[in-house]
């Protein structure tokens, strides 16, 4: 799934740009949108306030119309968790707001943001949609465990598979209760070289007897404590082949793919090869 953040002041036309982009991208694939809300959502086609359901104790509320349209409100949902779910079903996601998150971003009216600048303009009307869509398609896709599992299950050889095995690596906050907590990790890679080596590992693993599909993905940039870093997914005929290939896949990825890790704790920051004693 390709993700694009859109940030700017309230009068810069953020929502207008989301509308124009969604219309353009809908011809290319399925589009989802996420909006950063500053107030409690109160949408309801019958004029009832779904916040009343929440106040009564519901953790999540859904409104579903007769034509299968729907909306939802709830508690304890993060942007990362939402994107992870959407990645399995959608080709594009437009995220309005969230200037503090490291997303590839269109910045309107010089709005500061934490992500890579894909485009900038005075307002929504000044954005060149053709150039923006081309740039969006050139970005590295956002992958989650769910999206990789869905991808291998679409394999034409899936009818021969009796197992899907996965590995997920995540940011460990502490080694033990007395250790200094990690706030986040930051990953960099040699562009081109990392992708080439991952492709080689994948091809060699898929050449094994009984293995149909292998997917590997390592996130780069800032990954917060508790968030997922790396995934290996294997579609295979039987569980033994699947488990062995997953283990070999993550071992080879860590040993052979040029990735560099910076750890940021509450009191310090250092690259892994410069870790203090």
- Token pair 């968790």 in the structure block, residue: 81
Of 54-58, 80-84, 150-154, least confident by mean pLDDT is 54-58
| 3-class DSSP state of 82 | helix
What single string gives the DSSP state of each residue in 11-51? TS-HHHHHHHHHHHHTTTS-EEEEE--SS-----TTS--HH
**Nearest alpha-carbon partner for 254 in 216, 203, 208:** 216
Confidence category of residue 42, pLDDT binned at 50, 70, 90: low
pLDDT of residue 274: 41
CA distance 233 to 202: 10
CA-CA-CA-CA torsion sign (252, 232, 94, 92):
positive
| 3-class DSSP state of 265 | strand
| 3-class DSSP state of 210 | coil
pLDDT of residue 7: 94
Containing 52, the helix (H) or strand (E) segment is: helix 50-55
Q: How far apart are the first and last CA of the chain?
A: 40
Confidence category of residue 275, pLDDT binned at 50, 70, 90: very low
């Amino acid at each position: 799934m390709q993700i694009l953040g859109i940030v700017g002041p309230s009068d810069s036309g953020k929502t207008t740009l989301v509308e124009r982009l969604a219309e353009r991208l809908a011809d290319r694939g399925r589009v989802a949108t996420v909006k950063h809300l500053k107030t409690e959502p109160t949408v309801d086609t019958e004029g009832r306030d779904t916040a009343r359901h929440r106040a009564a104790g519901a953790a999540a509320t859904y409104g579903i119309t007769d034509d299968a349209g729907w909306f939802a409100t709830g508690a304890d949902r993060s942007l990362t968790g939402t994107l992870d779910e959407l990645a399995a079903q959608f080709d594009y996601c437009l995220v309005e707001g969230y200037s503090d998150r490291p997303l590839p971003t269109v910045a309107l009216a010089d709005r500061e943001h934490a992500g890579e600048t894909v485009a900038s303009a005075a307002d929504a009307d000044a954005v060149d949609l053709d150039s923006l869509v081309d740039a969006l398609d050139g970005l590295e896709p956002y992958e989650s465990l769910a999206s990789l599992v869905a991808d291998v299950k679409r394999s034409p050889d899936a009818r021969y598979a009796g197992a899907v095995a996965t590995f997920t690596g995540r940011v460990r906050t502490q080694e033990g209760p007395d250790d200094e907590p990690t706030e986040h990790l930051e990953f960099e890679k040699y562009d081109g070289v990392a992708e080439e080596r991952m492709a080689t590992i994948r091809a060699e693993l898929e050449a094994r007897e009984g293995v149909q599909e292998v997917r590997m993905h390592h996130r780069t940039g800032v990954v917060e404590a508790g968030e997922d870093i790396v995934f290996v997914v294997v579609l295979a005929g039987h569980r033994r082949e699947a488990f062995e290939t997953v283990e070999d896949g993550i071992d080879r990825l860590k040993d052979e793919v040029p990735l560099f890790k910076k750890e940021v704790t509450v009191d310090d920051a250092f690259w892994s090869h410069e870790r203090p004693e």
